[in-house]
Amino acid sequence: MFTLHFKGKEISILSPVVMGILNATPDSFYNESRKQSIDEALSLTEKMLNDGATFIDIGGQSTRPNSNIISVDEELKRVIPTIEAISKKFPEANISIDTYNAVVAEQAVEAGAMMVNDIGGGTLDEKMFETVAALGVPYICMHIKGTPQTMQQQTNYTNVIDEVKDFFAEKIQQAEQVGIKQIILDIGFGFAKTIEQNFELVKHFNQFTSLQKPLLLGVSRKSSIYKTLGITAQEALNGTTVLNTISVLNGANILRVHDVKEAMEVIKLAQYFR
């Protein structure tokens, strides 16, 4: 159990919950998550909320390997109108902003976001920690080495479990020193890891519970799944469900997914075995 505080709102999470993915981008790897118009974004948000999502994670910068970097202004143009529209139509929605830029995080929270999801873990924008601390919102710290453009060349680890844990221990200390009080950890499945390293992290996911922070897992339809199975991202729902199940049984608190209904079913069934 853990409790998150957002701008006067309190959410007590007694069992695992789901974060639905909404990409305000033209180039995210899974095309069904790309919603560039406001109407499309509202429709997907409504579906995810009806299917049981606790959080809606909105991103304007694709972070798939070798993705194109866009300007901060372009990222803001993509996400701010979407956040404002969702906040207006669905005031009950708990919106997370998926960004590694501190300026985007700040303006997104002002527009209605309640949490910052940083794939850079504070490494891609030196102002991110102080910005989140000033905003007073929960912070998702993901493990990465390098950038989305270079990370696939940075997969050398002596022990991937220990090195990711050491990264988190350092980032927790840094974040708490500047005043971030609510930290969620994301192992960074698919970011600066080989397929084998990704599966190793899932296999030993319960080791990260020793850090005593909520744990998020984002494996949804990623290439480690579909390449291993010899299929496409469009066909990778079943593989996603398998890894989500293993992770919930091993301590995952939040599943970040494209397919909310199926993730909710994982959680409901897994509760009988925990």
Which pLDDT does position 149 carry in this prediction?
78
The count of C-alpha atoms lying within 13 angstroms of the C-alpha of 227, restricted to the half-sphere facing its C-beta, is 9
Which pLDDT does position 9 carry in this prediction?
87
Q: Which of 34, 165, 256, 268 is catalytic?
A: 256
Residue pair 162/133 in contact by the 8 Å Cβ criterion: no
pLDDT per residue rounded down to tens, the chain (274 residues) = 789 998 788 999 999 999 999 998 775 544 554 456 899 999 999 999 999 999 999 999 887 776 678 899 999 999 999 999 999 999 999 999 999 999 999 999 999 999 999 999 999 999 999 999 999 999 999 999 877 777 788 899 999 999 999 999 999 999 999 999 999 999 999 999 999 999 999 999 999 999 999 999 999 999 999 999 999 999 999 999 999 999 999 999 999 999 999 999 999 999 998 7
Which pLDDT does position 28 carry in this prediction?
52
Helix (H), strand (E), coil (C) string for the chain: CEEEEECCEEEEECCCEEEEEEECCCCCCCHHHECCCHHHHHHHHHHHHHHCCCEEEEECCCCCCCCCCCCHHHHHHHHHHHHHHHHHHCCCCEEEEECCCHHHHHHHHHHCCCEEEECCCCCCCCCHHHHHHHHCCCEEEECCCCCCCCHHHCCCCCCHHHHHHHHHHHHHHHHHHHCCCCEEEECCCCCCCCHHHHHHHHHCHHHHHHHCCCEEECCCCCHHHHHHHCCCHHHCHHHHHHHHHHHHHCCCCEEEECCHHHHHHHHHHHCCCC
Total domains present in the chain: 1
Which pLDDT does position 274 carry in this prediction?
72
Which pLDDT does position 66 carry in this prediction?
66
Q: Which of 222, 227, 261, 274 is catalytic?
A: 222
Which pLDDT does position 98 carry in this prediction?
97
Verify whether residue 213 is a known catalytic residue. no
Which pLDDT does position 62 carry in this prediction?
81
* 251 vs 274: CA distance, rounded Å: 9
**Taking the model in full, what pTM does it have?**
0.94
Residue pair 220/258 in contact by the 8 Å Cβ criterion: yes
- Residue 126: CB atoms within 10 Å: 9
Which pLDDT does position 34 carry in this prediction?
46
Which pLDDT does position 151 carry in this prediction?
78
Verify whether residue 222 is a known catalytic residue. yes
Which pLDDT does position 29 carry in this prediction?
46
CATH of the domain at 56: 3.20.20.20
Angle CA(75)–CA(79)–CA(83) in degrees, nearest 5? Answer: 160
Which pLDDT does position 1 carry in this prediction?
77
Domain housing 72: 2-270
